[in-house]
Amino acid sequence: MSKTIVVIPAYNEGVVIARVIENVRCVVPDFDILVVNDGSKDNTAREAAAAGAIVVSHSFNMGYGVTIQTAYKFAYAKGYDFLVQIDGDGQHDPAFIPELMRPVVAGDTDFVVGSRFLGVESYRPSFSRRLGILFFRKLVSSLIGRTISDPTSGYQAFNRDVMRFFTTDVFPCDYPDADMLITLNLAGFRIREIPVRMFANAAGKTMHSGFKPLYYMFKMCLSIVVTLLRNRQLYRR
């Protein structure tokens, strides 16, 4: 029987993390749940452990990309076949985990990204965020040759091949968003989008917050350009 793990990167999410874990468990009671605590200053690790999750803690805050890569390394080392990634702030509705998993488990695709723009009613991001998403949607879609409506979504599911690929230095730890999709495409992985529901962040604070939008745009564009310039041998699976 295949093993699946739900990974939740978390930074100072002590208030909501237990509820997120509980919600995930209600939907997929048989899946293991891993919380990677990115050096939180609050009781995130304690709350997550009390809620029954496996907890791996960074000694200090390393950022979102490093945190999810720690989760991939854990999952790969422990022999999991599939991985679902969901944010620790409760923005992603766990009810869609089975939908997200279905094509990956069936072997129809390697990587599934949950999109908030494909029909299922979700919260409406701010104007500046929508503008940024639209920009990267156009850019990523034209580069990989198919429409990706939500290239900044962190709600994902993938198989062991992608897991192994992401444990290497190829993984863009700075901002693993649009350039990650391009990297996957260059490596020949099959990508698919599935509609999911996302809620507005009640606490108003996530690991994504605080990014200076302009710096983020510049950094992401630079990252995409260098990804395309790199030797394709680097992306061999």
Partner 1 sequence: MPIKQQIFALVVSLLVFVFTIEMVRKKRLREEYSVLWLATSFTMFVLVIKYDWLVALTHIVGAELPTSTLFFGSIIFLILLAVQFSIKISKLSDQLKDLVQDNALMRHEFERLKKGSEQ
CA distances from 73 to 35, 93, 94 (A): 13, 25, 23
Q: Does position 76 bind partner 1 by CB under 8 A?
A: no
Q: Does position 77 bind partner 1 by CB under 8 A?
A: yes
Residue written as token pair 């490596």: 187
Residue 107, classified by CB atoms within 10 Å of its CB into exposed (0-12), middle (13-18) or buried (19+), is exposed
Q: Does position 207 bind partner 1 by CB under 8 A?
A: no
Q: Which of residues 126-185 bind partner 1 (CB under 8 A)?
A: 169, 173
Q: Does position 234 bind partner 1 by CB under 8 A?
A: no
Cβ at position 109, least distance to partner 1 in Å: 27
Within 8 A by CB and 6+ apart from 59, the residues are 39
Cβ at position 103, least distance to partner 1 in Å: 29
Stretch that binds partner 1, among 50-58, 94-102, 148-156, 201-209 (CB under 8 A): 50-58
Angle at 197 between CA 194 and CA 201, to 5 degrees: 135
Q: Does position 229 bind partner 1 by CB under 8 A?
A: no
Stretch that binds partner 1, among 7-15, 52-60, 136-144, 212-220 (CB under 8 A): 52-60
